[in-house]
Structures are given as C-alpha cells and as structure tokens.
Structure 1
C-alpha cells in the first residue's frame, strides 16, 4: 500500500470523495483536511466511529426494516445531517476520546495493533467465503412498465441503458413507470405536482424543439417535486442529456479541495447549496443554481418553454447544445421506479428512518 502511494493524500482522496462527501454535511467535509496529515488512520478511525455511532441510534423498527446496504447508508447520512450529530463533539469524545474506568484511562477507539490483529483473524474466514461475495454484473437496460398512456421519450433502449449507468446502484435493476405525460395530463405545473405526489425518486424527460436534431434532456430528482421555492433535494440529483450524445451532469463539490477551515469561510457558495438543488414554485420547476442567478434547468408554468445556464456544481454549460440557453419544449414525461422482482414502486417501501433524526 505504501509503496504504490495508496496511503498518500492523493491516494486517499477517492475514499474521502466516495465515503465522507455523500454522508457528511459540506462544512464538515471541508474540515476533513485532517486526512492529509494523518492519512489512512484518520479516515479509518472517523469512518468506523461514524458507522458505530449511527448504529447506536437504531431502534427495533429500523432493525426490522433495514433490509439492504443502501437503506443503512441512507440512515447514516440522515444521522450525520441531523440535530443529534455534533461534529466537534464527535471528534473530541468519540473518534479521539478516552474513557476512564478504575483509574485506568484508555482510548475509546481500539489501538492500531488491536485492529490489525482483528483483521488478521478474519482473513481465514474471508478467504474461505470469497466465492460467496456478490459479483457486480454489467449494468443492464432499465425496463419499462407498459400502461394505458403511450411511452415516447424513454422508448429507446440505448437511452435507458445510459440512465441505468448514471443512477444509484439501488435503482439500476428497476423499470420506468410513466406517471406524467404532458400529452395526456395537460401542461401545467399544478398537474405536474399532482402526478408526482407519491414518487420521491423520479426521472423527468423533455423534448427540445427547433434544434435541428432529436434532442431530449432531463433531470433525476431525489425528492418529491412540490411547491417549495426555498429549495430541497440533495447532491444525488443530476441533469442529463439523453440524445444526442448522452451525458450526465452530476453535482460536484468544488470546495472540497480547500485545505483550511478559515478558507472555507471565504467561499461565496452557501454551505447548504447541496440541499437546495430542487427549487419550484407556483409557476416554475427547476434544478440547479446557475452562476448568473438563473437555473441549471428550468421549465415555465405551462411546461412549454425552458432555459438552462451553467449550473454551480453541475457544470452543465452545454446541456442542450452550444450557445442554446432558452428553448421551446415539446413533450414532457415523468417516470417513477418500479422493482423488477415484484413490480412494486420503489418509493412504496417502508422507510425505517422516517422521523428518527428529525
């Protein structure tokens, strides 16, 4: 590990991005520059302690309904964003704290030699059971639920394959179920909200007119669309162009590269931007905040006209095409996700974390 540079700051950065960025608040990620000084020891210590502390808050309802890894990590994220989690106290008393018992003081977190011995003891079991570990198969095309309303924008299987690659793993083995079509339900933001009322995770696709070629763009939402101009959503949202030239524009935390807490206070972007990616009101829906104060992607009240600009975090400068910022919109469709196994909506599952950290 040391010889190939895996324990250097550059080598450890992917762990910071993939583990801590999705789970912690942005301001806490900015303070994680500690990893550059202590390397793997700090990442392992803080990550393990965070998981243990989250697990300590589990109740019976959570244990009964937490059926897969995705649900567990969602709970860890909710805990880390809740009023119950205090980053400074977490570092001082849990990750780097000590406990006294019978006049003996010892660290709360196990010493490195104890952790190394525990890992070594489990190597035999891991080697014997490696054939039982799940193998990640190649991503397959999202399926379709055929209903009374004709499906248009998601008919192309290559486009659905692109979507499957962009979606979180928990949604990659699902089918798309059409819940809103401007051709069938009419064009209004009010009807859009009504049709999306029971779906938390959705894919919105729209046809862009007068570009000279077949153009379809859209957005993936992690929260239910509703009238809430103050902003909602999280960093899991993304914008995309389905055709031509499929491309996904994910939210990226640029400020993560700031290495001092004092510098973090000087950034101009609000620390809560990742929680304000979806903004919608009486006469518009939008995703992303544009550099000029506009939106990454925005639709007007009757869903006939759209606009786009380079969005902070998404870097969606050419979402529609080079130089195109305002455009006419044709067909608009919204899809929810349905499991292949039992044909039930993903968002119909019991949420074991509901109200736990509110």
Structure 2
C-alpha cells in the first residue's frame, strides 16, 4: 500500500503530525460547553463525618497540596473537640492506633482556620519525629502552605502538657496546650513560616484531626 501511494502520478499533500501535536488536537473543544477543564473534572475527596471547621474551599485547597500517597483517600475524622471534649490526652488516645498521616485543623475565636499536615500521627515522644512531607498551612486571609525548609528536623514533638510543631532557635511554628484551649504560632526555622494566625497567641474554638483511609 505504501509503494502504491508513493508511486501515484499526482501525489496527495501529506502532513506529518507528531504524537504530541495529535494529542493536543484531540483535546481542543469546539465550544466551551463541550469541554471541561482539569480542575472542573476533579471531585472533592469524600469525608466520612461532618466537619465543624471545614468548608468546601478549605477541602479543595488542602486536597491539592496533600502528598500523592493520600490523594484520593477518604478523609476519616478521628478526633474533634466538639465530639470528644477539649483534651490533648484524648487526642493522643484517639490517634494511638493510627499508622497513617494526619491532618490537624484549628479554628480560633476569630474564625481563623489553620493547622498542619503531619506525616505521622500525634503521640507523646522523647524526641522529634516526622518527615519532610509535614507542612503547616493557613487560610487567613488567603491559603498558604509552609513546607520543610531543610534546616532542621524538628517536625513534631508530643508532651502530655503540649503539642509542638516546628522549632529551632526560638519559638514554635505551632504550639497547643494540654487543654486544647490556647495556642501560639510564630515563625520557625523548620518551616520558615509566617505566623499562621494574625493573633500569635490565640484562643481555640475547635480542633479536629483527620486521617486518610
């Protein structure tokens, strides 16, 4: 067949199209109503409980910044101050059997929402733990994430009287007290973050911890 085409007395005009060009041509839509963007095609992750803190825009922003290994997973609520009371010991007890990453959400009395993704669940520890997947985030006034700076590995450390995230040469990136009523947030070397709340010493309205199934 190839020989017969090449030997025609009046050869047709042939266009060579690369694989990349072909794929690009197939993705072009004739009208906007026919085509959906990649963002529109994506669906929000499923949550197995109602959240007191999370709204749709919170979920959408956080889902896009989670590590690949938990993307697409169902979000499972394992601790909530609204359901389980305000106690760091209770938080530790509720997460004791989890061997997966966790998402810590905080809402302060000024309705600021912020928190952290931790590569490991929260527990009482003799030293800092976690990996470079861990990051801090805030929604006030716009969504920002603060990833590992590489300067130190002070990701998470749990005490009976406090939970600490980030540190080195000064205050913590995020600190919560034993009753989960008060906390603080400052710039730290671990994440090179801005304070997560305009009120660096804040009063807590609600705390939630989610994991991924």
TM-score range, shorter chain: 0.7 to 0.9
Residue 140 and residue 215 in structure 1: after superposition, are their counterparts in 2 closer, same or farther (change >3 A)?
farther
Deviations 1:216-272 (A, max 9, x none): 011101012110041111111000013431111111225xxxxxxxxxxxxxxxxxx
Deviations 1:165-219 (A, max 9, x none): 2111222212211111101111111100111123321101011113xxx310111
Relative contact order, higher structure (CA 8 A, sep 6+):
2
In structure 2, distance between residues paired with 1:235 and 1:290: 15
Pick one of 79, 95, 102 that aligns with 1:196. 95
In structure 2, distance between residues paired with 1:205 and 1:141: 21
- Answering whether residue 56 of structure 2 is matched by residue 143 of structure 1, we say no
Query: Could you tell me which residue of structure 1 aligns to residue 53 of structure 2?
Result: 153
Structure 2 residue matching 1:194: 3-state secondary structure: helix
Pick one of 128, 138, 151 that aligns with 1:241. 138
- Answering whether residue 126 of structure 2 is matched by residue 226 of structure 1, we say no
Pick one of 154, 158, 162 that aligns with 1:280. 158
In structure 2, the gaps of 5 or more residues are: 1-18, 24-37
| Equivalenced residues, count | 176
Residue 243 and residue 177 in structure 1: after superposition, are their counterparts in 2 closer, same or farther (change >3 A)?
farther
Query: Could you tell me which residue of structure 1 aligns to residue 173 of structure 2?
Result: 296
Deviations 1:109-166 (A, max 9, x none): xxxxxxxxxxxxxxxxxx8xxx9xxxxx65945423334xx42112x11111111121
In structure 1, distance between residues paired with 2:140 and 2:115: 10
Query: Could you tell me which residue of structure 2 aligns to residue 90 of structure 1?
Result: none
In structure 1, the gaps of 5 or more residues are: 1-126, 132-136, 255-272, 338-344, 346-358
From the CA coordinates, give the structure whose radius of gyration is larger.
2
TM-score, length basis structure 1: 0.46
In structure 2, distance between residues paired with 1:245 and 1:141: 22
Q: CA RMSD in A?
A: 2.0
In structure 1, distance between residues paired with 2:123 and 2:195: 27
In structure 2, distance between residues paired with 1:168 and 1:238: 10
Structure 1 residue matching 2:197: 3-state secondary structure: coil
- Answering whether residue 49 of structure 2 is matched by residue 171 of structure 1, we say no
In structure 2, distance between residues paired with 1:177 and 1:243: 24
Residue 311 and residue 141 in structure 1: after superposition, are their counterparts in 2 closer, same or farther (change >3 A)?
farther
Pick one of 332, 335, 351 that aligns with 2:207. 332
Say whether the 8 Å CA contact 2:80–2:207 is kept in structure 1. yes
Say whether the 8 Å CA contact 2:168–2:188 is kept in structure 1. yes
In structure 1, distance between residues paired with 2:43 and 2:125: 33
- Answering whether residue 83 of structure 2 is matched by residue 184 of structure 1, we say yes
Structure 2 residue matching 1:144: 3-state secondary structure: coil
